[in-house]
């Protein structure tokens, strides 16, 4: 059931936000890859992917936007800029 869900998502996602993963060949990486492919098509409304991560990933060259940052800090900045109310849980 989960694999079918991933395939459906990979064929319809217009924007994929990737936060804090190395994209090292897992099956879920296909969601990012397919969205990036559709972005290059003239008949698609896909935006592509945004990758937020400290280290390089194999899909950096094909994404729409690449941000080298700590995931927590990037999300805090995003929340602050849109004035979202964020609850920060500290361990």
Structural domains for the chain: 2-81 (3.40.50.1220)
Question: What does the pLDDT look like over 15-47, one tens digit per residue?
Answer: 999 999 889 888 889 889 999 998 988 888 889
For residue 1, the model assigns a pLDDT of: 43
Q: Is the pLDDT score of 90 beyond 90?
A: no
- Residue 88: pLDDT above 80? no
Q: How far is CA 29 from CA 59, 65, 84, 88, in A?
A: 9, 16, 28, 28
Residues for the chain: how many in total? 91
């Amino acid at each position: 059931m989960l694999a079918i869900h991933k395939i459906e998502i990979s064929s319809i996602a217009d924007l994929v936000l990737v936060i804090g993963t190395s994209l090292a060949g897992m099956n879920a990486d296909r969601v990012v890859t397919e969205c990036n492919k559709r972005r290059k098509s003239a008949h698609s409304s896909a935006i592509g992917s945004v990758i937020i991560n400290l280290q390089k990933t194999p899909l950096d060259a094909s994404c729409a936007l690449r941000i080298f940052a700590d995931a927590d800090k990037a999300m805090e900045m995003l929340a602050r800029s849109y004035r979202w109310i964020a609850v920060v849980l500290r361990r």
